[in-house]
Structure 1
Amino acid sequence: MTKKASTLLIIFIFISMNCFSQDDSTYLPQEEIVIDDCANALNKNDCLSLKIEHEVLDIIESLFKKRNQEIDTLKTSITFNLNDLNQINDERIYTFINDKKLNKKFTKELNKRIAELHVLRVDNKKPITYRPKYFLNYDYSTSNNQLNKIPLDSNCTFKGGIIEETPLFPNQPRVDDLTDRRTFNSLMQQHIGSHFMYPKEAVAKNISGRVSIMFYVDKEGNVGNIKTRGPAPILEDEARRIISLLPKLQPGRQNGAPKKIPYSIPINFKL
């Protein structure tokens, strides 16, 4: 059974990691956001981080009091970047907390508060081709019904904007972040479509469903550590086979240095 005899739906997702090493950057000095409240601060990055942390804590504490906490460690992550007017792009704010019962209200309120931050200026402004992202992380223990901050690894310390560049297919030119991701996505779909074969056994047994695929593109551009989760091993085997046939890619980069990047692709096998 070929791909023409079945329906194949592919969604390609780049997964940002929780924190990133920011040393030895070829893009230093890093882009720095200066908000109104931090205009006179000695360390603008520390001031911005503390301002956002204050909002995080305020939201968590209000939600925390309304239910019995079941998770002993709350982990939060925040990602955003700037728009063409050097203000925080309210369409590109991504927040998360590792508590399903809190996450919806937490992200809705925190996204709103971050979008309302007014940027006074941007120091070390980078060209639009290299539009940096801002990653912040705050972790708390919840012992004795109290929130206590957990120190992050020094590599996770906020130091300003980080420039991420997605892996590329061979001979794919770098243009800008959005174009590169869209082109990579299109080429990935072409690769999967051209190698996809619905397993005959699955057809005979009327097996269908969604297979989630996780893999890494390492610093050399090799694809590895392929993991799958789906309704049947036979569909998972087909998904792994397709990904294993990917060519050696151009590696992703962070601040100019090659970086191991994780990806996720759900494939729907539908008869």
Structure 2
Amino acid sequence: MSYKTILVHADGTPQAEQRIRLAAQVALAHDAHLVGAAMTGLSRHTLPDGSIAAVGTPFPFDLRLLHDRADAALSQFTDCASRLGVPSIEARRVDDAADDGLILQSPYADLLVLSQADPHDHSNSLPARLPQTVMFHSARAVLLVPYAGRFEKIGKQVLVGWNGSASAARAVTAALPMLKRAAAVTVAASPQTGSHGRQTDVPGAELARYLFRHGVDVTLVAQDDDRRAGEALLDLAAASGADLLVMGGYGHQRLHEWLLGGATRTVLREMTLPVLMAH
């Protein structure tokens, strides 16, 4: 597997340039096509009065303001990606809500790049929920960039959070192109149980063998306290100088809200480095 199409959210926010720079770095490293997607923010089915329009019904008002805003975000994307030397780029304007637009495009990319929600924004707005909504519904893994800070490199020193779950396995698979290029990969493994409820001999040992067959050497580190797994992963990332964290994202939907697992909630709220996460 290799990355051939990277999809980055272009929205013109203060976090957009850092997000685009990181997406461009991944595209350059893997000779991938880079798509910048700007959604107008208007659902393709919803009318201004909140009613639902039939598919194909034209909107009865002027969309120029929304289109102008999306086009400005795409101009920022094109300028940034071109300046960084990405040879294959595409600016894509989509008349849709941000979450639906990204989710609908996700099957046609190898990786999605979004930004972490600002933890100081206590509103219940869609942007605050966008990372988790896209992660749980996307066909692909997401690379989340912290809302603050500057990240000049990614994928040289990688930390993998491993608990044997299906979501963790999907995250590792999605990260394989970067793991193969990494100078060092550390697996922080927590105890897990086998199919009959028996604990496996050495947490993470089977994953290490799997990755070795893909040409990836790893260092195993035991992670015992699963109750604070998110904090422990971020602490280990800081101590080891990791520039990328790979982990599964756990949660389930109750009514219209996602109930997040403890580690997922902590990392989404407190991340200090880019995180590749899959559900």
TM-score scaled by structure 1? Answer: 0.24
TM norm structure 2: 0.24
> Going by fraction, where is helix more abundant, 1 or 2?
2
Higher relative contact order (CA 8 A, sep 6+): 1
Q: Which has the higher strand share?
A: 1
